[in-house]
Amino acid sequence: MRVGIPKEIKNHEYRVGLTPPSVAELVSAGHEVFVETKAGNGIDFDDADYQAAGATILPDARSTFAAADMIVKVKEPQAGEIAMLEPRHLLFTYLHLAADRPQAEGLMASGATCIAYETVTAAKGGLPLLKPMSEVAGRMSVQVGAHYLEKEQGGRGVLLGGVPGVAPAKVAILGGGISGVNAAQMAVGMRADVTIYDISNDRLAELDMFFSSQIKTAYASRAAIAAAVKSASLVIGAVLIPGAAAPKLVTREMVRTMKRGSVLVDIAIDQGGCFETSHPTTHENPVFEVDGVIHYCVANMPGAVARTSAFALNNATLPFVLKLANLGAERAMEQDAHLANGLNVANGRITHPAVQEALGLN
């Protein structure tokens, strides 16, 4: 198969769909790989590194799309990239269509077959291609939250871990999944006062056993969330319903009760966000303020630590890329029901039930 790797063009997105070691695996399996020039520069790989792995370097995105049968990316295709897709193309990347109707309509019109990383499942449960970036985003959420709590950033002037004689800051984490657990690990490491909220009592029990006395757990009722938001200095939204839009757990009225200079970090922003006051931001302009509360809602958080993120993502995606290249999309999905769960668009239609429901499409 002919595999194309375009340069990512989303704001401050430096990751790349395939690293040179991944390219070498494809080439050794008999496939051709075409890489847009400078696609890997953001993670310190130049064109020579890709050529050494066996790739052909092409001068721009248009020639890369034209040469390839399968396009492997990181972020959802932007409008100009969607315009280059054809019915013969297989697109393999993050899509997050539930919160992006224009993209969904563009992909349907293209006729391309589109498999989304975020809805591919695993035999033991979970979302294996979302997991590595959820880990990164969870860990980053505490890092950026602590930064924006600093007074010069507009925050309360609070140190998460406090110091002897001064209490640590309260951190509320909404959602006990991969992102939430990784956020909690970082917050605990910084000696914050951490509580995780979830609607699964079984999950809360697991978290209690995992963290022991390092954190507190609470059932995520509306009243509990309202109380948490009011008292916390940092609230991290880490909820996920696979393929669907994120539920709005924190209302505008709840935000009004927060202390001035508190921080909200919305990891769920790719799926529409779990705070009513959220809207997507970029690494160039990452925050905005509502009622004196700082909102960090960057839709590609892991792009800030691009090299770590690219390698972590490639570790997870490469086996699926090889399967698709070796067998073709149809045979690969026939043989692997978990890969088939990643199918979001085919033959001009939305195929994933949760995305259909979120967009109101059949």
CA 273 to chain CA mean position, Å: 12
Q: Is 89 a catalytic residue?
A: no
Please write down the HEC assignment for all residues of 294-340: EEECECCHHHHHHHHHHHHHHHHHHHHHHHHHHHCHHHHHHHCHHHH
Angstrom CA distances, 57 to 61, 63, 191, 265, 325, stand at 11, 10, 48, 38, 19
Which is the catalytic residue, given 96, 266, 336, 352? 96
- Roughly what angle, to the nearest 10 degrees, separates helices 306-327 and 20-28? 10
DSSP for 236-285, written as a single string: EE----TTSPPP--B-HHHHHTSPTT-EEEEGGGGGT-SBTT---B-SSS
Gap between the Cα atoms of 277 and 28, Å rounded: 49
> 91 pairs with which residues across the strands?
71, 114
3-state SS class at 93:
strand
> Strands of 216-219's sheet, edge to edge?
216-219, 193-198, 170-174, 234-237, 263-266, 293-296, 287-290
Q: Is 279 a catalytic residue?
A: no
Gap between the Cα atoms of 274 and 190, Å rounded: 25
Gap between the Cα atoms of 167 and 187, Å rounded: 14
Angle at 138 between CA 135 and CA 143, to 5 degrees: 125
Gap between the Cα atoms of 35 and 6, Å rounded: 6
Which is the catalytic residue, given 270, 295, 336, 352? 270
Catalytic residues, by residue number, are 96, 270
